Copies of this chain bind each other. A is one copy, B any other.
Amino acid sequence: MHVDIANALADTASPGISRDALARLDDQVAAAHDRIERGIEGREHGYAALALPEDVDVDAIRETTAAFADTETLLNVGIGGSALGAATITDALANESSVDAYYLDNVDPEWITALLSEVDLASTTVNVVSRSGTTAETLANFLVVRDAMTSTGVDWTDRTFVTTGEEGPLRRLADRHGLPNLPQPEGVPGRFSALSTVGLAAASVCGHDLDALVAGASEQREKLGPSLHSNPGYAYGAIAYALDQRGASVNAMMPYAESLETFAEWFAQLWAESLGKDGLGQTPARALGATDQHSQLQLYRAGPRDKLVTLVRPTERDDHDIPESDAEELAYLEGTGLGELMDAEFDATEASLAAAGRPSVRVELDRVDERELGALLYAMEAACVLAGELYGVDTFVQPAVEWGKNAARGLLGEGDYDEADAVAAKDELIIE
């Protein structure tokens, strides 16, 4: 994979970074890299994520999932970081797998009921993922799935494994029922766990090549160095930070591949939860090419100058020829393919943003496969860690979500929480 930052320079775009400022920024990157390298070497909290290519035990993952070789459907019960990394990989490679992977990352009752009625639970494997083992949505969904299996005569204990920490209710429940347990990595927050047991277990059940995923990540790990020119991850993180400083407070992540739509969601969590604190942080906006050219491009090109557009694509895809037509207006499509059309629109959109002086960054994978996905995930995590250093925030915490968790627990009567009282105290100004 590689990135092209030319269209984020002030030569082309406003906001944009001048070449002089880029040189000064590179000194900051060098200092940040020292800090990051120390964190990786010391396996410090969060930084340990960037050591995963070395630390992750793929054999343990393969051994645990080997017991579920007959899987036709995977239900991954987890939310946030316990879903998005795995979903990014299995959705990107779905055409390569005979296993249908579903992510129960919401507690919508109508959605869950419909999903459970559609799948054959006898050939379904359940992976329950929660570091703390206390995540309300995950445990509620697990209880529902377990009940559905039991009521259709399936022994859920034969079809379930867990990915959780050493402690907590989920781990105790697993031990009590003799469920296989994949340990969660130490010091790796959920949103940085795609290349650990959390993200790779689902990929293993779906039959994907874990070694290639890790190899792609290792390449990026080896490239980390004291310059934004040393690797695509640092280049992307530094440019996104610099553009935010110059007014691009929104980062539109726009892959030109349906298979990478979930990647944009994964990126949105990585970026928002890691950098969104102390009044700082660039807002990720998920988009999809070419579709959103007919939805968001008007705003990106003619709206406020507050956006960086990140265009992602594979340079190689299996194309689908566009057949001959009987309308002369369409003659220009003959002899081309859908992929050629999509690539022409990618190039046209990038150029149309540049022509309007709007900044964009191009991220290209050789193709959507395990190796390139491993590289992309690692590079974006490195980008985020670098950006966190440049912003000076604590990249690896998410304190602002605790308030709402307590309020919800209080509302459900788990105990006394002042936060729950605030819900009742709400004013209303209703228009019907």
Contacts and interface: CB of A to CB of B under 8 A. Distances in A.
A409 interface: yes
A290 B107 contact: yes
Contacts of A176: 326
Contacts of A280: 303-304
Nearest to A289: B106
A289 B107 CA distance: 9
Interface string A42-83: 000000000000000000000000000000000000011100
A259 to B, nearest CB: 7
Nearest to A233: B431
Given A273-B298, A298-B277, A146 B323 contact: yes
A251 to B, nearest CB: 11
Contact of A276 (B106, B272, B298): B298
A336 interface: yes
A413 B229 contact: no
Name which of A3, A7, A398, A400 has the most chain B CB atoms within 10 A of its CB: A400
Nearest to A269: B295
Interface in A276-321: 276-281, 283-286, 288-291, 293-307, 317-320
Nearest to A79: B294
Contacts of A293: 401, 404
A173 to B, nearest CB: 5
Contacts of A284: 285
7 contacts: A109-B317, A169-B330, A269-B296, A283-B299, A293-B401, A301-B403, A336-B412
Interface of A: 1-7, 9, 11-12, 79-81, 84, 95, 105-114, 134, 136-137, 139-141, 143-144, 146-147, 168-170, 172-173, 176, 191, 228-232, 235, 249-250, 256-259, 265, 268-269, 272-273, 275-281, 283-286, 288-291, 293-307, 317-320, 322-327, 329-330, 332-333, 336-342, 344-345, 347-352, 354-356, 398-401, 403-405, 407-409, 411-415, 419-420, 422-423, 426-432
